[in-house]
Structure 1
Amino acid sequence: MTERLSPRDIARAAALLREGGLVAFPTETVYGLGANARDGRAVAGIYAAKGRPSFNPLISHFPDAAAAFAEVVPDARAEALAARFWPGPLTLVLPRRAEGRIDQLTGAGLDTLAVRVPGHKLALDLLRQAGVPVAAPSANRSGGVSPTTADHVLDGLSGRIAAVLDGGPCAVGVESTVLDLGGPRPLLLRPGGVTPEAIEALIGPVCRPAGGEPETLRSPGMMLSHYAPSLPVRLDARSVGPDEALLAFGPPLPGAGASWNLSEAGQVAEAAARLFAGLRWLDAEGRRLGLRGIAAMPVPMDGLGEAINDRLARAAAPR
């Protein structure tokens, strides 16, 4: 059975991580499925619990920048970004240190590691008490909708992990921005909770990869079919039928068989926080009602809108 732990049980959660157990825990973005990043068997448990492809690397979480930079080699850009955005929803991909102790499976055998310091008090307390780096992708079955509450975690992983540390709903609602600093030009691998504009204001222009799946995945969340509910997703919906569920943004389209509004006021920050919960609800309700798919209304690209559209595009990708 999967234990449901409260914040008062944080010492229990930390002990489970040290012992090689899998513990889901809240961050400011989504719930992560944590394991000791130095323990290859524990990390393998993440892949098994999620059904995750072994070539998709994991993000390692740390209580502070000093702990993170003990495992990777930062440059001036990384140090500036860490000072500005850590703790927070920014992941940096940096070269491994030769003396680093993160297991190779955590980074899928690459010469780089994805590292971050989460901006959530309970997560930071857990990392400090665990005393080990924690590898943690989103706490859901691979390719499914990311969880923003403990109930979401249990929906997909109950009985497959040791525990979930219940810290309430996540505030940001989409995963961290992933920035590759392994080369001379910063490369945005995944948009997320820190906008590209905020990054560029600090370190200058950021490159974006060409479309399609890269041959080698240097960060989590780069597979095209990802964040996918079981019902097919139709993007940029301007109309909706009675046999479709509607993911609305702003005034909803009429006629849907079921509807979830990301933000009635048309605010992208609210939409980001409600995105995964909405996809999960529409998928379950749509299947219950026998609907044929989910129609997603357009969301502007401003701010967190880029991250929302990235998630929706992956949810709609052929699979």
Structure 2
Amino acid sequence: MNPEPLRILAPDAAGLSDASAILQAGGLVSFPTETVYGLGADARNDTAVAGIYAAKGRPSFNPLIVHLPDQQMAERYCVFNDDARRLAGAFWPGALTLVLPLKADAVVSRLVTAGLDTLAVRVPDHKVARALLEAFNGPVAAPSANPSGRVSPTKAAHVVAGLGDAIDAIVDGGDCPVGLESTIVACGDAPRLLRAGGIPAEAIEACLGAPLVRSADPALPVAPGQLASHYAPQGKVRLNAPYAKEDEVLLGFGPVDAALNLSPSGDLVEAAARLFACLHELDRMGAKSIAVSPIPDHGLGAAINDRLRRAAAPRP
């Protein structure tokens, strides 16, 4: 628990200067991105990165994403091949994380990579995140700002509720517009989809002109978000449910009678943006058993279903 009171910082020059100073001093700062709120620490500082793991209760073998202000800085830390440069050119800044070989001379805490020889990097497309990264002028390790395995935060209030007594500050930049974590692609000999997310895999494949390899072992994650049980609300989750049983609360999709609805119109973009907020609301409601309507498994629907399958997985 942080002995100092949590600071809520405005997303203005003074607030961002304070946030940068906290990061430089080895503190933990939550900040908004277009996907979800991240929990940031100096990626070069072992103690600061350890603070992320401690605050989140995060498994030590699950790597962290490093956020950077631009591709030029990312190339100081990682080896980019042609595919990586093509994807960065098309989708950065944006909701795409690239897993790339770590340069031999890169100064990054090994806690960030969880002992691997690769680094997950992203340039976010959010004016507050970009301004903070530019002010800090260095690599910021930033997983989602929630207790490990719990629902990711899309509002500053979610961060306060989940981690408020364990971190130093939150830059309150309002709601996250995408509301779903970044897509993760490893750029090796053949680009590999490691996690579905805010950019549909189809768009990435169109950019590459080739299909992504789709395989991953959740027992041996090489990127964030690959643990089998993740993004879980308090209640037990049942998927592809056309209706709720007597003891269940229905999380709907499309024109169904539900306690909460991801998108009454069946809009996958709206559903993605609302997913984590709805899961938080189910926790607030005290839902013990949750039924989830069927959701199409294409485009952003694939990422939504990925999150929901992890939410429904057996708890460790």
State the TM-score, normalizing by the size of structure 2.
0.96
Match of 2:215 in 1: 209
Report the Cα distance in structure 2 between the residues aligned to 1:265 and 1:131, rounded to whole angstroms: 42
Report the Cα distance in structure 2 between the residues aligned to 1:292 and 1:114, rounded to whole angstroms: 35
CA contact (8 A) 2:30 2:37 kept: yes
Match of 2:234 in 1: 230
Alpha-carbon deviation of 1:194?
1.0
What secondary structure, in the 3-state scheme, does the structure 2 residue paired with 1:282 have?
helix
CA contact (8 A) 2:36 2:179 kept: yes
Report the Cα distance in structure 2 between the residues aligned to 1:276 and 1:292, rounded to whole angstroms: 17
Match of 1:219 in 2: 223
Report the Cα distance in structure 1 between the residues aligned to 2:311 and 2:214, rounded to whole angstroms: 20
What secondary structure, in the 3-state scheme, does the structure 2 residue paired with 1:179 have?
strand
Letter in 1 for 2:307: R
Query: Out of 279, 300, 304, which is 1:304 matched to?
Result: 300
CA contact (8 A) 2:27 2:168 kept: yes
Alpha-carbon deviation of 1:214?
3.9
Match of 2:36 in 1: 30
Question: Structure 2 matches for 1:67-146, cutoff 5 A?
Answer: 67-146=73-152
Match of 2:62 in 1: 56
2:8 is aligned with 1:4: yes
Question: Structure 2 matches for 1:231-310, cutoff 5 A?
Answer: 231-253=235-257, 259-285=259-285, 287=286, 291-310=287-306
Give aligned pairs, total. Answer: 308
Report the Cα distance in structure 2 between the residues aligned to 1:264 and 1:222, rounded to whole angstroms: 29
What secondary structure, in the 3-state scheme, does the structure 2 residue paired with 1:114 have?
strand
Report the Cα distance in structure 2 between the residues aligned to 1:153 and 1:303, rounded to whole angstroms: 28
Alpha-carbon deviation of 1:103?
1.1
CA contact (8 A) 2:183 2:197 kept: yes
CA contact (8 A) 2:234 2:288 kept: no
Question: Equivalent pairs: percent with the same residue?
Answer: 56
Letter in 1 for 2:198: G
Letter in 1 for 2:239: L
Letter in 2 for 1:7: P
State the TM-score, normalizing by the size of structure 1.
0.95
Report the Cα distance in structure 2 between the residues aligned to 1:140 and 1:234, rounded to whole angstroms: 23
Alpha-carbon deviation of 1:241?
2.6
2:181 is aligned with 1:175: yes
What secondary structure, in the 3-state scheme, does the structure 1 residue paired with 2:40 have?
strand
CA contact (8 A) 1:299 1:309 kept: yes
**C-alpha RMSD over aligned residues:** 1.0
Report the Cα distance in structure 2 between the residues aligned to 1:284 and 1:147, rounded to whole angstroms: 14
Q: Deviations over 1:224-281 (max 9, x none)?
A: 100001111000011213421111101124xx6xx11111111000000000000110
Report the Cα distance in structure 2 between the residues aligned to 1:6 and 1:247, rounded to whole angstroms: 33
Letter in 2 for 1:307: A
After superposing the two structures, state which structure 1 stretch, 261-270 or 235-244, moved more: 235-244
Q: Deviations over 1:166-207 (max 9, x none)?
A: 0000011110000011x3111100000111111111111101
What secondary structure, in the 3-state scheme, does the structure 2 residue paired with 1:70 have?
helix
What secondary structure, in the 3-state scheme, does the structure 2 residue paired with 1:252 have?
coil
Match of 1:314 in 2: 310
Runs of 5+ unmatched residues, structure 1: none
CA contact (8 A) 2:218 2:226 kept: yes
Report the Cα distance in structure 1 between the residues aligned to 2:294 and 2:6, rounded to whole angstroms: 38
Query: Out of 46, 57, 63, which is 1:40 matched to?
Result: 46
CA contact (8 A) 1:18 1:132 kept: no
CA contact (8 A) 1:71 1:96 kept: yes
